[in-house]
């Protein structure tokens, strides 16, 4: 006889990491990730398996020291305590690129929301800390801990940068992390695969789509029992 497992999502949160239009073909002059607009349905689907929904946005100023130009191309290294390489200007508040992809909740509809990178000399990737040294908390780890969250389901843009870094930060903080690949897209195929391998090696669970999530969470509960 097959044992039925009651799946409990009370201690599960989902995290939409930077699913902004600046990271999609909608904004070709910013940082367009191929198929970036195609993650909305999966982000919404995975939210059904969580008691809390977290969101984050890049929020950058036009005068940021890391902005690429004709003399300093994108991906060129740059010196600074909280910057590493140059990027095309993106995610400026008030622009189309700053907005979430259509079909996602507004920031006010999330249980917790993070804006990151507004200072001109700081360009973080992960959503758990404002700096590159994981010292200045955005408060999300504390929020999740306060609400007794043990498992975090993650999707967003881009797999090989902000998603990966957020995953590693949450793993270090002691959470179980599930990465939903159907809710993510990466900048580059090679760096995306490297990121997936690193996340898995560090302890993240990787699923192909949201359909796989309930069974995985149920299996974790059986192990705890």
Average pLDDT of span 88-96:
98
Residue 222 pLDDT exceeds 90 = no
Number of Cβ within a 10 Å radius of residue 224: 7
Q: Are 32 and 200 in contact (CB under 8 A)?
A: no
Average pLDDT of span 40-52:
98
Residues in the chain: 225
Return d(Cα 41, Cα 111) in angstroms, integer. Answer: 19
Return d(Cα 99, Cα 205) in angstroms, integer. Answer: 29
Return d(Cα 33, Cα 31) in angstroms, integer. Answer: 6
The CA-to-CA distance between both ends of the chain, in Å, stands at 19
Summarised one tens digit per residue, pLDDT across range 2-16 is 333 446 799 999 999
The token pair that represents 117 in the structure block: 């990178």
Summarised one tens digit per residue, pLDDT across range 100-147 is 999 999 999 999 999 999 999 999 999 999 999 999 999 999 999 999
DSSP state of 224: H
Average pLDDT of span 137-162:
98
Return d(Cα 123, Cα 165) in angstroms, integer. Answer: 13
> What superfamily would CATH give domain 12-224?
Isochorismatase-like (3.40.50.850)
Residue 21 pLDDT exceeds 80 = yes
Kindly report the average pLDDT of the chain as a whole number. 94
Residue 60 zone, left/alpha/beta (φ > 0; ψ -120 to 50; rest) = beta
Residue ranges per domain, the chain? 12-224
Q: Give the pLDDT band of residue 225 (cuts 50, 70, 90).
A: very low
Average pLDDT of span 169-176:
98
């Amino acid at each position: 006889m097959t044992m039925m497992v009651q799946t409990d999502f009370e201690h599960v949160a989902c995290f939409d990491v930077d699913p902004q239009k600046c990271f999609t073909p909608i904004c070709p002059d910013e940082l367009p990730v191929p198929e970036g607009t195609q993650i909305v349905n999966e982000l919404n689907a995975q939210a059904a398996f969580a008691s809390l929904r977290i969101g984050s946005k890049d929020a950058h100023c036009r005068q940021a020291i890391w902005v690429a130009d004709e003399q300093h191309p994108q991906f060129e290294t740059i010196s600074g305590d909280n910057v590493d390489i140059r990027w095309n200007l993106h995610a400026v508040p008030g622009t189309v690129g700053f907005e979430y992809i259509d079909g996602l909740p507004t920031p006010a509809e999330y249980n917790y929301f993070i804006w990151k990178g507004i200072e001109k000399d700081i360009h973080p990737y992960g959503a758990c800390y404002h700096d590159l040294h994981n010292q200045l908390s955005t408060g999300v780890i504390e929020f999740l801990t306060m609400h007794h969250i043990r498992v975090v389901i993650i999707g967003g843009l881009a797999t090989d940068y902000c998603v990966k870094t957020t995953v590693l930060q949450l793993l270090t903080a002691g959470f179980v992390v599930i990465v939903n690949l159907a809710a993510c897209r990466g900048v580059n195929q090679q760096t995306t695969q490297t990121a997936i391998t690193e996340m898995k090696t560090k302890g993240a669970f990787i699923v192909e789509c949201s359909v796989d999530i309930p069974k995985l969470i149920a299996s974790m509960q059986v192990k705890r029992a």
